[in-house]
Structure 1
Amino acid sequence: MAFDYAEFSAAFPWFFPVAAFFIGACVGSFLNVVIYRLPKEESIVTPGSHCACGQPVQWRDNIPILSWMILRGRARCCGRAFSFRYPFVELLTAALFVACWLKFTPLVAVCGWIFVSCLIAATFIDLDHMIIPDVFTIGLGVFGVLLSCLVPALHGQQGDFFLVDSLRAGAASLQGLLIGSGVVLWIALIAEAILRKEAMGFGDVKFVGAIGAFCGWQGAVFTVFGGAIVGTVWFAIAFIVEKATGRRAAVAPPSETPEGEAAPLAFGAHVPFGPMLAIAGALYFLLLRDATLRWFAEIAVLF
């Protein structure tokens, strides 16, 4: 007897969202390893998870989200506190996995899982090191084009002929990659000419291209300007909190001088733009795609 997804989902509507949450939490746990080890050029496979004191983490202390709560944020072996970021990344990944599952068809949702996982990893690596590794820029962009060809519905192509849909979706993905990276590159070059200094890292250029591979050129353009809005709001909140408390806000993004030294959050300081781009890209992918496409269609009619 063949498995009927629609029938099973109708009978047990909670099953797949719950499964998506658990899968997302486990992936989030793996992302914590990637975020910590990848910038150090360490293996993300071996050795297994271990405490800062060197002791391996037992399986019962490595259950996503739950173990941190049971242990109250401290290692069982030595009592060291470990960051709230670990369960936060797991919970965030789980929540976004559920959102993808509820929003899209299963195949597109799985593509979304890959996309948001890379956005999360790139975000926290950029916050820690002010770099976005090529695996989340060039690698993600290439993978986005390949996935678009295999799952044309990722770009809204759902006709009767798979080959035609695949070519159209692949072209839309490639267009998003090239236009997205090209727009940011020109913005960076113009800003650099005006300010007489580097205004945006090349990693951001490649990152927008990778987002465009999953979201199309409209999503890439939205990400550039949406990321600027996210950054403006983020900085405004940080400044308000800093003025109210008299010390640097915990929510403030890291900032440094052009020479790489820590600096106050102010005009001219270098800040990671990747997190802002990632937030805007996720908003477009999960919530604002349809509204943005309608807006671009209305603009096209005027011309």
Structure 2
Amino acid sequence: MTHAFTEINAAFPWFFAAVVFVFGACIGSFLNVVIYRLPKHESIVSPGSHCACGAPIAWYDNIPILSWLILRGRARCCGRPYAFRYAFVELLTAALFLACWVLFPPAKALCGMVFVGLLLPATFIDLDHLEIPDVFSLGGGVIGVVLSFAVPALHGHHGDFFLLDSFRSGVDALVGLLAGSGLVLWIALLAEAALKKEAMGFGDVKFIGAIGAFTGWQGAVFAIFGGAVIGTVWLALALIWQKLTGRAATVAPRAETPEGEPAALGLGVHIPFGPMLALGGLAHFLFFHDWVAAYFAPLRGLL
């Protein structure tokens, strides 16, 4: 089977990439359902996709990415507009699946696709509701550890002894989970003590543990501090826009008062940190793993 795969890939180098892209778009369509229904505690299986007016959506109007373009963002049944974000999530999922396929061997690429499938819905649900469901944080941590034992290449172990590599990879995942969540927990506790109020939700603590299970402790550390940098830049740009125009930027993160009321960006409000952690973790997984591993190599040698 491996020989047949190699032959097909050599003869048609675009074939598997195209399949992965289409598969990713279909998964993105499903993730849209998860993002919309899960916070409302609705089934993600039934009923089937339907318009806001209640009419079911035909299969030919539910083709990922293409249907939004063909219908110009309006429902065929009633003409209501629906957000570009549905097509964006499908396109983003497809692009990230393709990136995993292009950058990694097949086994690690599949693990990367699972990672993406956990990060994206967690990100958009946190943006919408300022919460990260446990299925993505606790569940993601368990999945990351299990995949690490099953696919040692996930943590860069490629030796000749599978059982030894599997053990090392699993340990890397467990250390990443515990170190990542522990570091964020201490940051949250110290910030709460200094500010005399909650500085970070416990959902972020669990979420970084899931990221660490896929990326190891180095990836968890990178996600925390890389996420902080991303968040700082994002908030700075949003605040500048708000100051210059007198209105919130359309891509600004949602903000709430400590009592849960919508608020403008500023001091003393709650904003989602999960998307920033996800961006940091994804950047490490796709692009910065080798650089971060080399940076932490002296410290790793002491542990």
Common fold, TM-score beyond 0.5? yes
Runs of 4+ in structure 1 deviating by more than 3 angstroms, as ranges, are 298-303
> Using the alignment, how far apart are the partners of 2:106 and 2:92 within structure 1?
20
Percent identical among aligned pairs is: 67
Note the C-alpha offset of 1:265.
0.2
Letter matched to residue 185 of structure 2: L
Partner of 1:248: 248
Note the C-alpha offset of 1:237.
1.3
The CA RMSD over aligned residues, in Å, is 1.4
Given the alignment of the two structures, is residue 96 of structure 1 paired with residue 127 of structure 2, yes or no? Answer: no
> Using the alignment, how far apart are the partners of 2:203 and 2:127 within structure 1?
13
> Using the alignment, how far apart are the partners of 1:109 and 1:253 within structure 2?
30
> Using the alignment, how far apart are the partners of 1:150 and 1:100 within structure 2?
18
* Residue ranges of structure 2 left out of the alignment (5+ in a row): none
> Using the alignment, how far apart are the partners of 1:58 and 1:295 within structure 2?
52
Given the alignment of the two structures, is residue 29 of structure 1 paired with residue 22 of structure 2, yes or no? Answer: no
Aligned residue for 2:242, secondary structure, equals helix
Note the C-alpha offset of 1:7.
2.5
> Using the alignment, how far apart are the partners of 1:128 and 1:275 within structure 2?
11
> Using the alignment, how far apart are the partners of 2:302 and 2:182 within structure 1?
24
* Residue ranges of structure 1 left out of the alignment (5+ in a row): none
Note the C-alpha offset of 1:196.
0.2
Map 1:194-205; keep pairs closer than 5 Å: 194-205=194-205
Partner of 1:278: 278
Letter matched to residue 96 of structure 2: L
> Using the alignment, how far apart are the partners of 1:301 and 1:65 within structure 2?
47
Letter matched to residue 83 of structure 2: S
Note the C-alpha offset of 1:302.
10
Map 1:7-156; keep pairs closer than 5 Å: 7-156=7-156
> Using the alignment, how far apart are the partners of 1:267 and 1:283 within structure 2?
28
Map 1:202-241; keep pairs closer than 5 Å: 202-241=202-241
Note the C-alpha offset of 1:299.
5.6
Letter matched to residue 107 of structure 2: L
TM-score calculated relative to the size of structure 2: 0.97
CA gap 1:243/1:98 in 2 versus in 1, 3 angstroms: same
Deviations 1:111-144 (A, max 9, x none): 1001011100000000111100000000000010
> Using the alignment, how far apart are the partners of 1:28 and 1:300 within structure 2?
37
Deviations 1:234-271 (A, max 9, x none): 00111222223221111110001000001110011100
Aligned residue for 2:250, secondary structure, equals coil
Aligned residue for 1:255, secondary structure, equals coil
